[in-house]
Chain A
Amino acid sequence: MTAGRSTSAFLNRTPRLRLGLLLSAPMLWLGLAYLGALAALFITAFWHADSFTGKVITDWSLDNFETLVTDSVYRTITFRTIAIAAGVTVIDAIIAFPMAFYMAKIASPRARRILVIAVLTPLWASYLVKAYSWRTMLSGNGVLHWMLDPIGLDTPGYGLTATVITLSYLWLPFMILPIYAGLERLPDSLVDASGDLGARPARTFRSVVLPLTFPAIVAGSIFTFSLTLGDYITVKIVGGTSQMLGNVVYDNIGAANNLPFAATVATVPVVIMLLYLAAVRRTGALENL
């Protein structure tokens, strides 16, 4: 008892040590497990693998990066992946904004709570279940075909469109919640003031609501963009013959047994994300997360 008391007294006198002890565990986790793994990834990217046995040979070379840059197929896949990520982000933003606006500004407090739960519920279901449901729905004789056939349309079938649809569905909650939080912080009085000064709703939206919630949208886009950038399962399930960066990484680990090249490819989304985050920092969205 006395030992415990003297320790606590000692810690009370030395705030720096106290802080150090408190933070050491999470810092160790962040440093070793997270940044350490990233560093290992980056180092592996400079090695290469024996194509027969798949053993990693620790010779340093830039060959992997050269292949990555010179082979046009990797450029195509990178651009395709960015395009999908951008598409998913835009679609999610367009769908999420009105929903979040209704939740934050129009719905009664009771309805608001129910809506927040409703938005969160899909996150409880397994990713795979949701992706496979879309596979069944998008199938040539699935429910989409059945619904769209009478109006002369058809299911897009498996392919890029299906991938964008499925990913937009999967990541929608990650866009709604930040926008909802951003709109909640927007004082109603500002909207009212804009109206009192003669602005029409469209003008209020453009000059007041959007600039003030833009950081929230950007915060949501970080989620949808980065989650899409790293995805490889959805495109395998509903993507038909298309592939994304994640698939190249996966194939190089699973199929080709070429870990170093997989690491090289994996640096691409990391770099894209760093650039994205650097751009985002300027909008002040990082304070909104």
Chain B
Amino acid sequence: MKKYPIALALFGALVLAAACGTESGDSGGGGGSDSTGAQGFQPPDLEALDKLGEPEGELSVLAWPGYAEDGSNDPKIDWVSAFEKETACQVSVKTFGTSDESVSLMKTGGYDVVSASGDASLRLIASGDVEPVNTDLVPNYADVFDFLKDKSWNSVDGVSYGVPHGWGANVLAYRTDLVSPAPTSWSAVFDTNSEHKGKITAYDSPIYIADAALYLMKTQPDLGIKNPYALDDKQFQAAVDLLKQQKPMISEYWSDYLKEDQALKNGDAVLGTAWQVTVNLAKSEGAKVDSVLPSEGATGWSDTWMVATKSEHKTCAYKWLDYIVSPEANAQVAEYFGESPANEKACDLTTDKAHCDTYHAGDADYASKIWYWTTPIAQCLDGRSDVKCKDYGEWTRAWTEIKG
């Protein structure tokens, strides 16, 4: 396998320390990327667009469910039609349930823009599936919170690869009528003595291992987990064992948020990790469901809109990037999905005036406490250089093993 000396040559002392003596994983030649600072990979040499042309009349959007609503799920929830009217770009939306799905769909080349989470964005950049974004062509970029700009998950070497969209935490959803008292800790889903055995639901993706690691980080300090995405052999094994223990208590794993919504409504699952949008949806359908941010903290996402390298509708794509972070649209998405908007001005336009406070929108300090999804790599993300961490390939294999 190739080693990546370029990383050592290019980046600062932190990366130097972290990258020394590490090799890329046995199955992964991707080299290291260090999402705490500069990235240890060389993105393909691609140019950002320098000026906009005429809108091409079409746009294919690949988005998390709830990010590009055109009224087909709920006639009242529609911000895509306004965009179509404004720009004459006809939008077709495809949603995905996991970051991995977004990466493989982007590889098919059929999409113009994608809302990528941190565990997808760097993979897309490294493989050249997305190109740098000229933020000068996105007027609303100016109003985006500064603490979201130029981050390791949306930029490489100061070159921006997209526009921040919003961020939030993976919450613990529960049936208010069937779970009492209300849970306050992730122990409700991990403790083998949980009284809700067989009625627990969990996210069906290798990245869920990080949730177990986060729980262990707080409950078993002697494991020394500093970052749930940087796990050495022992820590990783502990997280995997915890999930194997959890499996008999799981009613089902979900990757389709509608499936989870249905399970919660029917009471086939009474608690488990969820997105706020699932909880909002279940509530709107009359289910007695609520959510809580457990005391251990949570994993979460910080999403970025990116432009496909092979897109033939780049003007429409830029128009979309600008539109979706405009105060009006950003406020609607943030409120519908249940996350913090990226645009500062969106906070004035939410129907619930307290929305931004509830989700700590401008609170950089709070935002730093959420463990955003990021791709685990062999080079430990927490800066340790004396051990090798488990890369995502191994996370994936472990996930198959956990499900058995």
Contacts and interface: CB of A to CB of B under 8 A. Distances in A.
B251 A157 contact: yes
B297 interface: no
Given A71-B401, A158-B252, A54 B396 contact: no
A158 B400 CA distance: 19
Most B C-beta atoms less than 10 A away, residue of A52, A57, A139, A239 = A52
B393 A158 contact: no
Contacts of A52: 28-31, 33, 41, 123, 126, 375, 377, 391-392
A254 B98 contact: yes
Contacts of A135: 262
B396 A142 contact: no
A251 interface: yes
Contact of B100 (A77, A139, A255): A255
A157 B263 CA distance: 12
Chain B interface size band reads 35 or more
Contacts of A140: 266-268
B247 interface: yes
Interface in A248-288: 248, 251-258
A54 B123 contact: yes
Query: Taking each of A54, A77, A139, which has the highest tally of chain B beta carbons within 10 Å of its own beta carbon?
Result: A54
A263 B275 CA distance: 33
A240 B199 CA distance: 11
Interface in B39-53: 41
Contact of A139 (B25, B268, B391, B394): B268
Interface stretch (A43-51, A193-201, A223-231): A43-51
A144 to B, nearest CB: 12
B127 A241 contact: no
Contacts of A241: 247, 250-253, 403
Interface in B87-101: 98, 100-101
B393 A256 contact: yes
A73 interface: yes
Contacts of A48: 27
B15 to A, nearest CB: 16
Interface string A216-254: 000000000000000000000101111100001001111
B396 A255 contact: yes
Interface string B198-220: 10000001100000000000000
Nearest to B32: A52
A54 B400 contact: no
Interface centre among B259, B375, B393, B399 (most CB of A within 10 A): B393
B107 interface: yes
A57 B1 CA distance: 11
B404 interface: yes
B400 A139 contact: no
Nearest to A67: B397
B169 interface: no
Interface residues of A, number: 38
Given A141-B267, A241-B247, A55 B127 contact: yes
Contacts of B397: 67, 71
A53 interface: yes
Nearest to B205: A255
A77 B397 CA distance: 13
A140 B391 CA distance: 39
A12 interface: no
Contacts, number: 105
Contacts of A243: 400, 403-404
A256 B27 contact: no
Contacts of B107: 54, 257
Nearest to A74: B400
A20 B261 CA distance: 57
Interface string B100-126: 110110010000000000000001001
A54 B124 CA distance: 9
Nearest to A73: B401
A49 B30 CA distance: 10
A255 B206 CA distance: 8
Task: Give the interface SS of chain A, mostly helix, strand, loop or mixed.
Answer: loop
A251 B205 CA distance: 9
B178 to A, nearest CB: 11
Contacts of B393: 51, 256, 258
A139 B199 CA distance: 12
A76 interface: yes
Interface string B252-281: 110000010010001110000000000000
Contacts of A77: 404
A50 B30 contact: yes
Contacts of A53: 30, 123, 126-127
Contact of B391 (A51, A157, A239): A51
A255 B404 contact: no
A254 B104 contact: yes
B253 A54 contact: no
A171 to B, nearest CB: 23
Contact of A251 (B259, B268, B400): B400
Interface string B44-69: 00000000000000000000000000
Contact of B268 (A158, A237, A239): A158
A257 B267 contact: no
B30 A76 contact: no
Given A53-B126, A241-B403, A257 B252 contact: no
A254 to B, nearest CB: 5
28 contacts: A49-B27, A51-B25, A51-B394, A51-B396, A52-B30, A52-B41, A52-B391, A53-B123, A54-B103, A54-B107, A55-B127, A57-B29, A67-B397, A73-B401, A76-B404, A77-B404, A157-B251, A158-B251, A239-B252, A241-B247, A242-B403, A243-B403, A251-B396, A253-B104, A254-B101, A255-B206, A256-B393, A257-B107
Interface of B: 25, 27-31, 33, 41, 98, 100-101, 103-104, 107, 123, 126-127, 198, 205-206, 247, 250-253, 259, 262, 266-268, 375, 377, 391-394, 396-397, 399-401, 403-404
Given A49-B27, A141-B267, A256-B100, 13 more contacts: A48-B27, A51-B27, A51-B396, A52-B30, A52-B375, A54-B104, A57-B29, A71-B397, A73-B400, A76-B404, A140-B267, A157-B251, A257-B103
Across the A-B interface, the 5 shortest Cβ-Cβ residue pairs: A52-B30, A51-B393, A51-B28, A53-B127, A256-B396
